[in-house]
Structure 1
Amino acid sequence: MVFTPYLKNNMLKLILLIITLNFTLSSFVLAQANLPKVPETGKPETEARPGGTRTGNLEDNSCNSATSLNPVSLLAQGSRDFTASEFPSFWFYLPYTQQQVENIEFILKNPEGEQIIYRTSVELTNQPGIRKVSLPSQPEYALALDTDYLWELIIYCQANDTPNPDIKLEGWITRVEITGEETAVQPVYQSYIAQDILYDAVTQLAQLYHQNPDDQQYQADWKELLELLGYVDLIEKPLVLDVP
């Protein structure tokens, strides 16, 4: 077969085009393979899933025998949760009495080093309700700025005779810095809500509402905050803060 100069020129262009396309495709595939996996909610990648993940059988354990509601964190709804406090409080709805639960343990970790920052047992009473776990105001428990911390709430039901918990809640908290001007709005919890610092918004409003249960403004604001957090079914649940 005889190739004319025209055909030779076109074939050369075709070969160069094929080589170029192959190189481009290979580069694209390599780049895709080297891309980091994007966490679902902007949290650091660890074995634990972010956003208030629950594990365990919530439908078939003795803890749930007297209630239709499950334990939940008022925060950690799959979005990034913030605090401006070195020693924040963590809020949970626990539908149990002390007779139904063998033990509840709260753990705060620095996930980068798998270091346990704080560990404590959660005391229950005879009244189910919304409770808090607060970090002690001591330097060794202080949260560093711009650091993600993993918390866990581990629940052992009364009939559990194994080392495995029946239920585990987990989520993330990050401390951020704010200025006095950013909290100039009164009441301060409204400023926290506007800045998405929901841990502190819940803490301040819950304490004010607990101290002033007949205040209509606090009642309305507490209802709106629970609606914002997606917990309409907890609006009528009591705040149980006076735990011995």
Structure 2
Amino acid sequence: MSRLSIAFGVALWSSPAFALPVHSIIQERFYKNTPNKNAPYTPPPDAGTPTPTGGTGSRGGCVNIPDLPPTAALVGQPHLMLTTSDRPVFWIYVPYTPEEAPSGLLSLQQGDNAVYEGTFSLDSADAVIPGVVGIRLPETAPSLVAGQEYDWFVEINCMAAIGNDVGFSDTTVTLDGLVQRVEISEALASDLSQAKTGLDVVAVYGRHHLWYDWLTALARLRLEADSNPEWSRAELNHSALETTWTTVLSDMQTVLLETWSREPLVGEVVPAMLQSNRGESGNQSQKQENRKQGQTP
């Protein structure tokens, strides 16, 4: 399913800078034992009743792609916001080819304060769209502070219909979500220490309501299985990974992302920080309001 290169898959798992807190547990154990075939995500007890959100995405002014879902952020519900990572990965779905959507912009804000802003390419061998792609907050970005809530925005530069033609314009489609870092509790640390496989780790994240960690750990297992057919056949039931992903995203009681649950998973990209004066809090505050209201910044 994935068009991610084998080299990228290996690098993704072997680089500590891109890892979740329990990277070593997954790396050391996913060649052993029979994986946990049940790794659901459980929302927090106070999550409330979910309401359909459409994946917090839309086509904006972008050209319509027949038979494909609209652009979306894989968050959906307000409770899908917790992580233990100081630099998490934000997963989105892009229905366009690199020619139709060559680049994007990731912004991270806390209230009126700009935390990070960087551009990324979607014309990359690391993640060939269309499909689900992870936007990884890079090492150049400040670490998320535990207990603080952040807004994140992704703007995709896309092709727009101009008259009877389709051409590149300043049109963008904007996605958004919330993220909050939490400390690793004693209970979480204990559960992680007992995890024997990659899917065990995914299951632990799910039980502790850590949506970003759950999604990223499972996505990386799927990408690794796609990149390593021999490993996949010998040690891991690839269909179990895909079934777990599809089942949770399709859960109409908690997640409500069924529309995007069967789209291909293509990899991760890393933004490069903008070298400009766009970090002024006043400008960023106005841009944030524009994005939330669906206006072009």
Change (3 A) 1:178 1:192: same
Corresponding residue of 2:169 = 161
TM-score by length of 1: 0.67
Q: Is the 8 A contact 1:51 1:79 kept in 2?
A: no
- Runs (5+) with no aligned partner, structure 1: 1-40, 43-49
How many pairs align? Answer: 190
Q: Is the 8 A contact 1:150 1:172 kept in 2?
A: yes
- Aligned partner of 2:179 among 173, 177, 199: 173
Change (3 A) 1:221 1:65: closer
Corresponding residue of 1:233 = 259
Q: Is the 8 A contact 2:157 2:173 kept in 1?
A: yes
Select the structure with the greater relative contact order (CA < 8 A; seq sep ≥ 6).
2
Q: Is the 8 A contact 1:103 1:121 kept in 2?
A: yes
Q: Deviations over 1:172-214 (max 9, x none)?
A: 1000012312434531111111121100100001110111145
Corresponding residue of 1:3 = none
Corresponding residue of 2:152 = 151
Q: Is the 8 A contact 1:52 1:171 kept in 2?
A: no
- RMSD of equivalent CA atoms: 2.9
Alpha-carbon distance, 1:70 to partner: 0.4
The separation in 2 between residues aligned to 1:182 and 1:90, in whole angstroms, is 24
Alpha-carbon distance, 1:237 to partner: 1.7
Corresponding residue of 2:107 = 107
- SS of the equivalent of 1:196 reads coil
Query: What code does the residue aligned with 1:103 have?
Result: S
- SS of the equivalent of 1:119 reads strand
Structure with higher Rg: it is 1
Q: Is the 8 A contact 1:108 1:150 kept in 2?
A: yes
The separation in 1 between residues aligned to 2:67 and 2:108, in whole angstroms, is 28
The separation in 1 between residues aligned to 2:54 and 2:114, in whole angstroms, is 20
Q: Which residues in structure 2 correspond to 1:84-103 (within 5 Å)?
A: 84-103=84-103
Provide the identity percentage: 25
Corresponding residue of 1:134 = 136
The separation in 2 between residues aligned to 1:52 and 1:127, in whole angstroms, is 18
